[in-house]
Amino acid sequence: MKLFNKAIDLLNQFKKQRYVLLTLIVRDFNSRYLSSFIGLPWAFIQPVVYVFVIWFAFTFGLRAGNTTSGAPFAPWLLVGMIPWLFISQTMIVSCMALPEYAYLIKKTSFNVSFIPIIKIFSGMIVHVIMIFLVILLLIFNFQIYPTVYWIQIIYYLFATFILLTGISLFVASVNVFVHDMAHIINIITTMLFWATPIIWPFTKLHGNYRYIALLNPFFYITEGYRYTFIEKVWFFEFAEMNLYFWTVTLIIFISGVYTFKKLRPDFGDVL
């Protein structure tokens, strides 16, 4: 009951400060690109170039053929890569969230725990752009047309948000005291990229190794995008995957919230 009341209180604070948060999210998004020569168009150029390079490489260059499910490899890879990019980049930029917004920490009217969430929503803007570009590519190049399964992308965006919230709260708070956190996260994301079935299919794993993948929450997200856009599978058809993902994700989320709350009193002194 206590945890439920805290969640309700947090939602009420989010509602009260939604306009401030929206302003900060837009400002954070703009600051990523406006300081460059070209400016805001980079937000669209980067996803376009990235999607084009993968499409070209695996359609005309590497010609990897089809996956075991029969789907062409190029769209299968594209759909799995876009959530991973969102997750990995958000984990990295979240490390510096508190030093970047140090001026907000001493403002008692602002909930400091919302600062890492600013980074998540800012990255989600680019992520949604990439989803839109990939959808256009699926339709016009691969003749993969919209189905009712595509609506579950809302569910996977929500699942990604909860997972990233826990991670961002943890890395942002720890980075205030351990400045190597950004380097550690870079190494971890590199390792997870190759350890997660993103560029190689889950079917290559056998026996107990399959459970290692199931315990990887990033695999649930990347595979979920493929279920949504390519393989036409509902998320609730895999009870075991759902159980593992939400168990691990809630542990990460609670750990992130606890760590942030525990370290928050010292943020002002250190920053």
Contact 239, 214 (CB under 8 A): no
Radius of gyration for the alpha carbons in the chain, expressed in angstroms and rounded: 19
For residues 246 and 251, what is the distance between their CA atoms, to the nearest angstrom? 8
Residue 154 class from Cβ within 10 Å (0-12 exposed, 13-18 middle, 19+ buried)?
exposed
The gap from C-alpha 113 to its chain's centroid, in whole angstroms, comes to 18
Alpha-carbon span 269 to 125, nearest angstrom: 33
Q: What is the mean pLDDT of residues 7-36?
A: 71
Per-residue buried b or exposed e for 125-147, using 16+ beta carbons within 10 Å of the residue's own CB: ebbebbbebbbebbeeebebeee
Judged against a pLDDT cut of 90, whether residue 133 lies above it is answered with: no
Alpha-carbon gap, residue 131 to 83, rounded angstroms:
9
Q: What is the pLDDT of residue 170?
A: 94
How confident is residue 245, by pLDDT bands cut at 50, 70 and 90?
Answer: very high
Strand ranges, E, within 31-82: none
Model pLDDT for residues 38-89, shown as the tens digit of each residue: 555 665 666 666 666 666 666 555 555 556 566 777 788 889 888 998 998 8
Q: What gap in Å lies between CA 95 and CA 186, rounded to an integer?
A: 10
pLDDT-derived band at 2 (thresholds 50, 70, 90) equals low
Give which of 210, 200, 217, 232 is closest to 68, Cα–Cα.
200
More confident residue, 171 or 43: 171
Whole-angstrom CA distances from 141 to 56, 59, 75, 134, 138 are 11, 10, 9, 10, 6
Tens-digit pLDDT profile for residues 188-241: 888 888 777 777 777 777 777 777 777 789 989 999 999 999 989 999 998 888
Residue pair 203/68 in contact by the 8 Å Cβ criterion = yes
How many Cβ atoms are within 10 Å of 36's Cβ, its own excluded? Answer: 10
Cα dihedral 50, 252, 256, 174 in deg (nearest 10):
-70
Mean pLDDT of the residues in the chain = 81
What pTM value is reported for the model? Answer: 0.84
pLDDT in tens, 25-44: 888 877 766 655 555 566 56
